[in-house]
């Protein structure tokens, strides 16, 4: 009819539909957002290094709002710390398990070689620069608290590996804490002192494994 202002029923339903409110993301969604941010932050570090690392650039790469980013990481240093922790976790996991071999020296040599090679990758050298940036933001000076924390974590993992080796090959080390620190310091020395091509080979690692076992005074397991 002319002048009839009655609206179609489907139009009425559309107007009556309540607005959809966005709630908090589920745990799975929140984890996915965090992963996306950390991945974007790592990619930015790989491309440009830590000196020009900026929250706004991470947000753009992650396709996330600044509010989303700052809700999870209050500042640049906190985000760098999160990236460092994630990447170190991957490195420690990759070198956690001892090789499956019947010869103790061969197993320790394999472990030494894998650890040292993990220290000299471009990614590890980048993480070393990230540590410098993090520590430069902390008050005071002197020793690096971040490096001390990483060293303690590495020493703890080595201590656990030595305990596994003692149980597997039935021998005893009197001072396992000192032995773990000694082993790690020696690996740092090889990483700094040997050329990269030599670190790829097994000879140095076998020599170091034999030297280590003599130096820590390995004795048969006590009954």
Do 39 and 102 belong together in one domain? no
Examine residue 5 and state whether it is found in any structural domain, yes or no.
no
Please tell me whether residues 112 and 171 are part of one structural domain.
yes
Q: Structural domain tally of the chain?
A: 2
Residue 14 reports pLDDT greater than 70: no
Confidence band for 22, pLDDT divided at 50, 70 and 90: low
Task: Name the residue range of residue 175's domain.
Answer: 86-137+146-220
Same domain, 176 and 68: no
| CATH number of the domain residue 119 falls in | 1.10.357
- The percentage of residues in the chain with a pLDDT greater than 70, rounded to a whole number, is 87
On whether both 54 and 128 belong to a single domain, the answer is no
Residues 112 and 70 in one domain: no
Residues 164 and 117 in one domain: yes
Q: Sign of dihedral through CA atoms 92, 179, 122, 136?
A: positive
| One domain, residues 102 and 41 | no
Residue 11 has a pLDDT of 47
Q: What integer best gives the mean pLDDT of the chain?
A: 88
80 located within any domain: no
Separation CA 127–CA 146 (nearest Å): 11
Q: Is residue 10 part of a domain?
A: no
Among the listed residues 175, 107, 49, 127, the one whose alpha carbon sits nearest the alpha carbon of residue 135: 127
CATH number of the domain at 68, please: 1.10.10.60
What are the structure tokens assigned to 155, written together?
A: 């020493």
């Amino acid at each position: 009819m002319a002048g009839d202002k009655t609206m179609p029923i489907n139009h009425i339903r559309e107007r009556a539909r309540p607005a959809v409110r966005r709630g908090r993301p589920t745990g799975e969604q929140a984890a996915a957002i965090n992963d996306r941010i950390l991945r974007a932050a790592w990619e930015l570090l790989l491309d440009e290094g830590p000196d020009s690392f900026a929250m706004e650039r991470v947000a753009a790469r992650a396709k996330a709002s600044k509010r989303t980013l700052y809700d999870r990481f209050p500042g640049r240093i906190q985000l760098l710390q999160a990236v460092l922790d994630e990447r170190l976790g991957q490195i420690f996991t990759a070198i956690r398990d001892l090789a499956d071999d019947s010869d103790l020296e061969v197993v320790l040599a394999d472990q030494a070689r894998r650890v040292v090679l993990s220290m000299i990758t471009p990614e590890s050298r980048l993480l070393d620069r990230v540590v410098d940036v993090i520590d430069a933001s902390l008050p005071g000076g002197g020793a690096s608290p971040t490096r001390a924390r990483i060293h303690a974590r590495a020493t703890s993992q080595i201590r656990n590996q030595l305990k596994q080796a003692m149980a597997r090959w039935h021998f005893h080390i009197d001072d396992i804490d000192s032995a773990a620190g000694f082993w790690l310091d020696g690996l740092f020395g090889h990483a700094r002192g040997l050329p990269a091509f030599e670190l790829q080979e097994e000879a140095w690692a076998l020599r170091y494994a034999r030297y280590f076992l003599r130096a820590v005074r390995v004795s048969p397991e006590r009954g």
